[in-house]
Amino acid sequence: MNGHPTREEDFDLYALGAVEGEERQAIESHVAQCAACSRRLAEAQGRIALLALGAPRVEPSPSVKVRLMNKVRSTVQGRAVRSAPVEPQRAGGFFEQWWAAVLAPVAVALALAALFLWTENARLDRQVADLRATMQDQQKQLDYARVVAHLLEARDTISVSLAPMPGMANGAVKVMYNEKMGVLMYDGWIDPPPGDKSYQLWVVPKQGSPISAGVFNPATSDSAHWLTKVPEGIPVKAFAITLEPAGGMASPTGPMVLIGPVS
């Protein structure tokens, strides 16, 4: 085993004693230096211990106890003690040994089966989590597409082109806005801002202060496209992009870079 163990079954097999030689030494050496893997190994040993408790208890033959007690008396007294005669093994003792011989491998098989089912269940859980995340992502994309389609189809959606101000960064941006929906769509490009600055898009209402519609930091001059929500029912007279401190501001403070009046 090279590097960082990543399979759960590595730790379970180690706890069962099924890993030997260099592979076992590699796991022990890695676990001694890795807290995460040490914790995973402890969890695996706990699971195997619980499985061991589920194995059936096998009682020893009565003759075993007789021989053991005779040996103890012989050692304590310092002399040979004649052991009590042991009755020949009866049919019951034979069946007890037979059941012990059968149940021991069955218990091991059950433990391995439980381990397999546990690892398979963990794998299926991961697959379900991945599928759920994929479905959520697809749902977000579907919702986004529906909003865009509604925005483009609505007759009261306005489209405004923003022109760059003299001496400022180059760019070509178009804004689509629906007052009733409270949805704004940005589409276009603009030169990247300085490292300590951000661009901020503003909705300039006919009455009241400008409303922030988003802060963005394009890394290149490639075209970008995004949606944002703004307060519904706001009549607009213009849209503008200003250069603000990194992260944006609550109200415009920097120079105006692009502006587009609503005709």
Identify the bridge partners of residue 183 per DSSP, sorted by sequence position.
Answer: 178, 229
Report the C-alpha gap between 256 and 125 in whole angstroms. 52
- Res. 84 pLDDT band, cuts 50 70 90: very low
The H helix count followed by the E strand count for the chain is 5, 8
Nearest-CA neighbor of 45 among 13, 23, 67, 22? 13
Looking only at the bridges linking them, the beta strands covering 256-261 and 224-229 are unpaired
Most confident of 70-74, 76-80, 126-130: 126-130
- Span of 47-56, 80-89, 175-184 with lowest mean pLDDT: 80-89
| Rounded Cα distance, 171 and 192, in Å | 10
For the purposes of burial, counting CB atoms within 10 Å of the CB of 110, is it exposed (0-12), middle (13-18) or buried (19 or more)? middle
| pTM for the model | 0.52
pLDDT of 70 > 80? The answer is no
pLDDT tens, 165-224? 999 999 999 999 999 999 999 999 999 999 899 999 999 999 999 999 999 999 999 999
Confidence of residue 126 (pLDDT cuts 50, 70, 90): confident
- The half-sphere exposure of 100 on its side-chain side, counting CA atoms within 13 A, is 11
Q: Where does the pLDDT of residue 81 fall: very low under 50, low under 70, confident under 90, or very high at 90 and above? A: very low
The per-residue pLDDT for 245 is: 97
More confident residue, 174 or 131: 174
Task: Please name the residue that has the structure tokens 């213009």.
Answer: 238
pLDDT at res. 185: 96
Distance CA 176, CA 188 (A): 11
